[in-house]
Structure 1
């Protein structure tokens, strides 16, 4: 293997290149420290930092490949939707669900898209955060959630938008704090679309023609 081949190989393997560089630096510190102690100590510190960086990057890489690990879920943040032509495309997250970062009354809020939910819903805390109050004449309604039945209040969101999807004066369900910890986009919004479908790990939403 020529020097050029070795350089090209290391460029394709940055973690390996960083590991080798850190080890060579650590070995050379012993020779330098004899005559220049301060420089040797600085080189030793850089070598240690390089090895720590290799360890952290390796752990992050392994976590990314293990899609169900807690680290992978933490690294896989909710992202805004993509617009492809007229369609809005949402990628599946590592937990196997479709999440989207939406503008909710003008503020960024993460939502789980749940085709099994009748209403778009959120906790009372999030409703207050975006300026939604329960309707004055509402007596509450019982909703079934993954954690059992809850009593939710009706409210109205001025706007909710993501990608090419936009809804105004949208009825929402406001759940009690402590019993609702996930914001969901339900069928009362999805039913306003021309259609939606799942292709592989992508949820594709088609708005109605304007």
Structure 2
């Protein structure tokens, strides 16, 4: 049986020693004068460089191959670092592109402190509508601050995985078409852009009673605030 290379035992020993130091110094918060998080990052980076270097040496490549490999790894590390540094800006760009390509998609913006705002546009009907994600499924909803609960049409309820046939339509509700009845249900998640809540109670309107699903105050009331700016409604997480 082939024995593991000596370098593997050295790497494992260093990793074990580093982990033990972190465990013993957990309460102190520092190891060799460094914060435990910094020490862990240095330990991980050092082991990664050692393994990569050993692989290059063991394969005995030419000088040109070594240079290309080092350049490739540096490019990968630079790309990962840049992506992490500008992660919020990249999320904003992706959200803007999606909002432009998919009608009704909300525009999410995250600032440097991690605060999220979502902009919803007013449609030709004069209402604020957005493409929400309920239980991970797309649902076009109208924002209705006059509705205490989020109400789904039967079709939308079925599309997010609810067993509509098992629902009990006994809850009286008022709609633009008058008083009707709805059934109580629950959504595991409701998301508008990058703002997500759940689980939340919802209602399902009886067939034919509602033409479009409504996003009510049981979602809107969880926000830190929202305001209307012309044809836009801005939601703040």
TM-score band by shorter chain is 0.5 to 0.7
SS at match of 2:218: helix
Matched with 2:46 is none
* CA apart distance, 1:133: 3.8
2:209 aligned with 1:184, yes or no? Answer: no
Counterparts in 2 of 1:77-116, with a 5 A limit? Answer: 78-85=103-110, 86-116=116-146
Determine the C-alpha separation between the residues in 2 that align with 1:169 and 1:132: 14
SS at match of 2:199: strand
Offset at residue 125 of structure 1 (A)? 2.5
Taking the aligned partners of 1:133 and 1:152, their CA distance within structure 2 comes to 14
Question: For the Cα contact (< 8 Å) 1:78–1:99, is it kept in 2?
Answer: no
> Is 1:155 the counterpart of 2:185 in the alignment?
yes
2:228 to 186, 191, 198: 198
TM-score, normalised to structure 1, is: 0.58
CA deviations over 1:102-148 (Å, ceiling 9, x no partner): 111111110001111111011222212211247x8967211100000
TM-score, normalization: structure 2?
A: 0.51
RMSD over equivalenced CA pairs, Å: 2.1
2-side partners of 1:178 and 1:133: how far apart? 17
Q: Matched residue pairs, number?
A: 131
Unpaired segments ≥5 residues, structure 2 = 1-101, 111-115
SS in 2 for 1:125: helix
